[in-house]
Homo-oligomer: A and B are copies of this chain.
Amino acid sequence: MELRPPSVVALVEELQQLPGVGPRTAVRLVQHLLRAPAGASRLAAAVGRAAEQVRHCSTCYLITEDDPCPVCRDTTREGVICVVEDPLNAWAVEATSEFHGRYHVLGGTLDPLHGVGPDELTVAALVRRVQEGGVNEVILATNPTVEGEATAHYLARALHAVGANVSRIAFGLPAGGEISYADQVTLSRALAGRRGMD
């Protein structure tokens, strides 16, 4: 006999669609939600509202409720575009308060083996933004992974072809790190990227 009520079975199935949520975690989440019904109602409303109101900015592809997004509407931003893989990365860059330009969200990295080419990302839109002018620099801030590096190299070629000034964020030791714990790739890059001191 199936002891789980139909609405719980349905909820477990929906939760299992989430990344990293297996059957056991799903049931645990259900239990928690059922123990706190007020919280569950609030969560349902929050999921529904976000799904309804959130879209991508048609210029920079950031997640936004208004199109164009607040950054694209902000006339005080500098003519620099920071290219990132996903909105999370843009949020992280913005949180540093070091960057006062605009963003461009690629939507992932090139992955030819899985059928992800430039057309699956927002590459053409990025090239178009550069061609429209007013862009002094494009900072490639894809992740320091094999895929992120390959994507950055592809973008650099495509952007140089339309005359853009392209840079790549620096690789090196993370702040607060310990040299003896750093992996070889990181340490090699930190050495290669050394800068003169006065």
A contacts with B, residue count (CB < 8 A) = 58
A31 near B: Cβ within 8 Å?
yes
Contact of A17 among B10, B14, B39, B48 (CB under 8 A): B39
- A170 vs B46: C-alpha distance in the bound complex, in angstroms? 45
**Given A6-B65, A32-B18, A86-B31: A40 touches B50 (CB 8 Å cut-off):** yes
Whether B63 and A51, one on each chain, are in contact in the complex, defined by CB atoms closer than 8 angstroms, is no
Whether A44 and B41, one on each chain, are in contact in the complex, defined by CB atoms closer than 8 angstroms, is no
Whether B20 and A25, one on each chain, are in contact in the complex, defined by CB atoms closer than 8 angstroms, is yes
| Chain B residues positioned under 8 Å from A30 (CB to CB) | 50
Copies of this chain: 2
Query: A64: shortest Cβ distance to chain B, in Å?
Result: 6
- Some 6 contacts from A to B, beta carbons below 8 A apart, are A8-B63, A10-B50, A11-B47, A17-B39, A41-B52, A44-B51
A148 near B: Cβ within 8 Å?
no
A54 near B: Cβ within 8 Å?
yes
Whether B5 and A53, one on each chain, are in contact in the complex, defined by CB atoms closer than 8 angstroms, is yes
| Chain B residues positioned under 8 Å from A124 (CB to CB) | none
| Chain B residues positioned under 8 Å from A18 (CB to CB) | 29, 32-33, 43
A94 near B: Cβ within 8 Å?
yes
Contact digits for A1-45, partner B, Cβ 8 Å, 1 yes 0 no: 101111110110111011110000101111111101101111111
